[in-house]
């Protein structure tokens, strides 16, 4: 008769489930497959939209806005005073950014964005929200223990730096304006935009210094 070690079976079960898509992802895939089967949807269209939001619509748009603010003081002033209007100068304004506030990182302040109720996010300039942004763990702990959460992202914030947490809603969403890295004075907007990351505009990354050996 075959015998089973319960702890080993449980370990195998957990390991298998770590490689399975989440339940919402499975439901979306099933719905997509059904629509494709009925001829109502082309899977290539879905792939194209996902790629567009991931690679083109965002976060490159947000990076463009940040780089412009770094190099143009007048634009930065407009962005801080009226973010939707400043973003609309590039034609980037969307439903998720029509009520947007930009908060600036400084030597003494670091900003972190979260949505504690759901996952409100300025996708028209940042693209698709990362999975971790939507998890209950991030949404709860970012408010209770922001420094601990930042440490898990590899961001160590000294006691001399104030951490401000901004809670997004459907009516008001936030974009972090990261600090311009030192030693980038000779870089143009395009090169600077290449340094800006999605996480830096959420606040889970602080240092955007160019990597050693990277071409200017």
Residues labelled as active-site residues: 115, 118-120
Q: What whole-number distance in Å separates Cα of residue 173 and Cα of residue 70?
A: 21
Which DSSP category does 161 fall into? S
Q: What are phi and psi of 46, to 5 degrees?
A: -60, -45
Q: What whole-number distance in Å separates Cα of residue 18 and Cα of residue 212?
A: 35
Cα–Cα separations (whole angstroms), residue 213 to 63, 165, 205, 209, 216: 22, 34, 21, 12, 9
The 10 Å Cβ neighbour count of residue 208 is: 18
The 10 Å Cβ neighbour count of residue 144 is: 9
Residues 6+ away with beta carbon under 8 Å from 20: 26
Q: What whole-number distance in Å separates Cα of residue 129 and Cα of residue 192?
A: 22
Establish how many alpha carbons lie within 13 A of residue 20's alpha carbon, considering only the half-sphere containing its beta carbon: 11
The rounded Cα 145 to chain-centroid distance in angstroms is 19
Tell me if 126 sits within 8 A of 176, measured CB to CB.
no
């Amino acid at each position: 008769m075959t015998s089973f070690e319960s702890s080993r079976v449980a370990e195998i079960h957990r390991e298998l489930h770590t490689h399975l898509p989440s339940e919402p992802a499975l439901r979306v895939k099933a719905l997509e497959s059904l629509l494709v089967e009925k001829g109502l949807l082309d899977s290539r269209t879905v792939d194209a939209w996902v790629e567009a939001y991931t690679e083109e619509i965002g976060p490159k748009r947000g990076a463009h806005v940040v780089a412009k603010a770094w190099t143009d003081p007048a634009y930065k002033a407009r962005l801080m005073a009226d973010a939707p209007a400043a973003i609309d100068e590039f034609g980037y304004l969307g439903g998720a950014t029509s009520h947007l506030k930009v908060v600036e990182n400084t030597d003494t302040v670091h900003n972190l964005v979260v949505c504690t109720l759901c996952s409100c996010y300025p996708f028209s300039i940042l693209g698709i929200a990362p999975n971790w942004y939507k998890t209950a763990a991030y949404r709860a702990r970012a408010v209770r223990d922001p420094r601990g959460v930042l440490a898990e992202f590899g961001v160590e914030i000294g006691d001399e730096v104030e951490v401000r947490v901004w809670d997004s809603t459907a009516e008001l969403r936030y974009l972090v304006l990261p600090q311009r890295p030192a030693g980038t004075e000779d870089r143009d907007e395009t090169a600077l935009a290449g340094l800006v990351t999605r996480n830096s505009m959420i606040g889970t990354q602080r240092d955007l210094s160019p990597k050693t050996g990277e071409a200017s």
